[in-house]
Structure 1
Amino acid sequence: MKWMSKKTVLISFFIVSMLVSSFGSAYAAANLEPIKAFFNRSVSFVLNGERWEPKDTKGKPLSPIYYNGTNYLPVRALAEALKVPIDLDASGQIIYIGGKPGEKTPIFAVPMEIDNIYAVSTKDPAETLVKDTQFKQILKIDQYGDIVFKIDRKYKRLVLNAAVISPGEHEVEFTLYNAGEAAGNAAETALEMHKVSPDDPVTQMVFNVEGLEKVKIHVQSHLLNPYIYARIVDTSYFDNGDSSSKNP
């Protein structure tokens, strides 16, 4: 009986470890099919009129794989370049491109710009009690104000929950604008507008934000100057639900 050398054992163990870490399970191995392909290092890319080089998560340049007459790029590099969200469900072997259906991102988890004068964020319990419901955080707009969200085309909808509290006396308009740098003159065009009355409970408004990089919500009474006491509450969120949904 021949004994394997220590070096052989170590090499064998390394190969087994690599196989286990690569395939994870017998199921994964059974569903991976070997192919003969090549890295195509002669291809260059132009994205939206500018030269673009795909890179991995560590910033290392990537070359497309050429197989059977077609060039293939890693889906993550391409999705990030196109500013499309991408997620992997490793257990179910599902790659979500464009966001997971039903997943909600609270508005306070999204990059936001406010002036802290006309639009103010607060966690003060005395301020976050809205229509007899205690929230953890709100945006309060007592006269008029703008809230700008940087969403990088990641979402289809903004679901905004808001109310007008006492002593508000006027109906309040919540208007959506395209605040992206490429919007140009179109940034002055209202894309969508909903109204909330002081008599209404906390009201849910659904805005279509699909394909937009930055959006602005302008809050104001149609009478322009009076105090309105509008409150946007922390149950508001962005998601990738059906952008054609109507307000409840």
Structure 2
Amino acid sequence: MKKRKIVIAMTALLMLGGTAVYAAAPQIKGTIQNFKYVLNGKAWSNSGKPILVNGQYYLPVNTVKEATKTNITIDKAKGTVHIGEKLKETPILNEEVNYYNAALTRDDAYTGDFKEVILAKKAYSSSIYLKPGAIYQSLVLDVSAIDKDSTIIIKNRDKKEELKSLFVSKETQEQIELNISGMKEVEVIVEANGGNVVIYPTSHYK
């Protein structure tokens, strides 16, 4: 087995929970290991290679993130590695949102106790494009069907794969929670011929 020696700066130890704090360390020597990955009993292809340093194996952050579906982000300015959900919830409207046959509205027929909500218009297929930017672990959506029963489909737009399909009964509010680790864009589709669907500003990332 061929091995390549490299010089790396070890700045963080990966853990599967919480927040790790790190500081710059002297450069040390490591060796790339050409191992094959097995994920949940099946062969798994990933370009990240383990590195052997002083008898300890280290995996690339992106490899661990993809395999475990656990969000890992590094904040160089603060010197922290964030793993899993963030303590502070971030409203979805704090990040970029794009609309197709949907829009923000302040119509008090839909807003209730809120200043504004996202409204997906009935009789049209509507899409709300959320852009978490691959920095969050979870997405929580608070939705309600108005006028008629509706079907909501949520997709990982990066890979064009369906995450969840949900039937929402008329005048019923539902909360949907999804693991969105590593996702840059999520599409919320409201199928045509349903009622008006409202997404409330309490929806958030964490």
Distance apart, 1:235 and its partner CA: 0.3
**Secondary structure, aligned partner of 1:139:** strand
Conserved? CA contact 2:7–2:27, under 8 Å: no
1:192 to 135, 139, 164: 164
Higher radius of gyration, 1 or 2: 1
Alpha-carbon distance between aligned partners in 2 of 1:164 and 1:68, rounded to the nearest angstrom: 58
Alpha-carbon distance between aligned partners in 1 of 2:132 and 2:186, rounded to the nearest angstrom: 8
Structure 1 residue 203 corresponds to structure 2 residue 186:
no
**Secondary structure, aligned partner of 1:234:** coil
Q: Which amino acid aligns with 1:111?
A: E
The structure with the largest helix share of the pair is 1
Distance apart, 1:205 and its partner CA: 0.9
Residue 69 of structure 1: aligned partner: 29
Report the RMSD for the aligned CA atoms in angstroms: 3.4
Residue 47 of structure 1: aligned partner: none
Conserved? CA contact 2:126–2:190, under 8 Å: yes
Residue 121 of structure 2: aligned partner: 142
Residue 95 of structure 1: aligned partner: 80
Distance apart, 1:147 and its partner CA: 0.8
Residue 135 of structure 2: aligned partner: 154
- Normalising by structure 1, what TM-score? 0.50
Which consecutive residues of structure 2, in runs of 5 or more, have no partner in the other structure? 1-5, 9-23, 32-59, 66-70
- Normalising by structure 2, what TM-score? 0.60
Alpha-carbon distance between aligned partners in 2 of 1:102 and 1:195, rounded to the nearest angstrom: 30
Which consecutive residues of structure 1, in runs of 5 or more, have no partner in the other structure? 1-41, 45-63, 72-77, 240-248
Distance apart, 1:66 and its partner CA: 5.3
Alpha-carbon distance between aligned partners in 2 of 1:43 and 1:136, rounded to the nearest angstrom: 55
Conserved? CA contact 1:122–1:138, under 8 Å: yes
Q: Deviations over 1:170-221 (max 9, x none)?
A: x2222111212xx2xxx1x422122211142x2211122112121111112x
What is the identity percentage for the equivalent residue pairs of Structure 1 and Structure 2? 22
**Secondary structure, aligned partner of 2:154:** strand
**Secondary structure, aligned partner of 2:162:** coil
Summarize the Cα distance change of 1:121–1:164 in structure 2 as closer, same or farther, 3 Å threshold.
Answer: same
- Deviating above 6 A after TM superposition, structure 1's stretches of 4 or more consecutive aligned residues are none
Distance apart, 1:107 and its partner CA: 0.8
1:232 to 199, 202, 205: 199
Conserved? CA contact 1:85–1:154, under 8 Å: yes
